[in-house]
């Protein structure tokens, strides 16, 4: 099954702080929205304006091959912004 590799980028740290695989961009956005809005000690919850969710590539869960590496070698790889933490924050 083709999975989407997503990553949370911390703008202050200028680094991706987390990567995972998910079946769709919609599922990834829902999980990120929960991290932004569910009270916790997480940096994503504390500073949503500093975090962005990106689609980084794809991964074949049957073969274990990260497909985005092959795309990068052909000059076709580009990360894609899905949503910012600030845009998902529910203000009371």
Band the pLDDT of 68: cuts 50, 70, 90.
Answer: low
pLDDT digits (tens, 9 = 90+) for 5-27: 999 999 999 999 999 999 999 99
Total domain count, the chain? 1
Q: Pick the range with the lowest mean pLDDT from 2-16, 32-46, 78-92.
A: 78-92
Has residue 77 got a pLDDT over 70? no
pTM of the model: 0.84
SS3 content of the chain, % helix, strand, coil (to 5): 35, 35, 30
Average pLDDT of span 60-73: 71
Question: Residue 15 belongs to what domain range?
Answer: 2-88
């Amino acid at each position: 099954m083709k999975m989407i590799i997503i990553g949370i980028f911390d703008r202050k740290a200028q680094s991706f702080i987390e990567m995972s695989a998910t079946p769709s961009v919609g599922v990834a956005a829902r999980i990120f929205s929960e991290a932004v809005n569910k009270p916790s000690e997480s940096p994503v919850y504390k500073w949503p304006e500093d975090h962005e969710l990106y689609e980084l590539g794809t991964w074949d869960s049957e073969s274990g091959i990260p497909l985005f590496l092959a795309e990068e070698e052909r000059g076709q790889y580009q990360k894609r912004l899905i949503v910012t933490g600030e845009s998902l924050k529910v203000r009371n």
